[in-house]
Structure 1
């Protein structure tokens, strides 16, 4: 069994991705492989799963919750305040969030917003410069 943190999960589409603790490629998770209610899946939730290879990359099966993310307002343990992302990871995350939340944005608008958010993130130490 492998452990990892949920990066994102689309409850409507029924799939998402987990960052395995051992490193490597993000692992695909599908609602049919969850051993619990899909409404409990959220970014930051720690899960345990069997790792399988598929023709599209790594896939999780028999997914179980080990630890839920801290409820809103509750301060996580000091060593878990936040992950510092690489600039590439930050750009990918921001781009995906913008495409999902505002699909009518143009490429130019996405680049402008992403550039400003990157400046803010670097200034606050959220991104490795």
Structure 2
């Protein structure tokens, strides 16, 4: 799993970006956030995730709040 920090996340639109420790920005969609209830992330929050190829570049999968 990769680690990173939430760069920004728009709760209304349900997506944002994670700054991975590798230096790349990774797209994150609310449907990939693991856990119960409302799926949201906060700017600066530490997360762990898998990186997959999305239609427009790297995309986070199985995002877990660290």
What TM-score does the superposition give when structure 1 sets the normalisation length? 0.47
Residue 38 of structure 1: aligned partner: 39
Higher helix share: 1
Determine if the alignment matches structure 1 residue 4 to structure 2 residue 4: yes
* CA positional deviation for 1:6: 0.1
Q: Which has the higher strand share?
A: 2
Structure with greater contact order relative to length (CA < 8 Å, sep ≥ 6):
2
Aligned equivalent of 2:55 = 55
1:28 aligns with 2:27: yes
Aligned CA-pair RMSD? 1.0
Counterpart CA distance in 1 for 2:27 and 2:59 is 5
4+ residue segments displaced more than 3 Å? none
Unaligned runs of 5+ in 1: 67-129
Q: Which residue number in structure 2 is paired with residue 16 of structure 1? A: 16
CA distance in 2, matches of 1:22, 1:58: 12
Q: Secondary structure at the match of 2:59?
A: strand
Deviations 1:5-51 (A, max 9, x none): 00100111100000001112x10000000003424x11100000010
Task: Compute the TM-score of the two structures, normalised by the length of structure 2.
Answer: 0.89
Q: Secondary structure at the match of 1:3?
A: strand
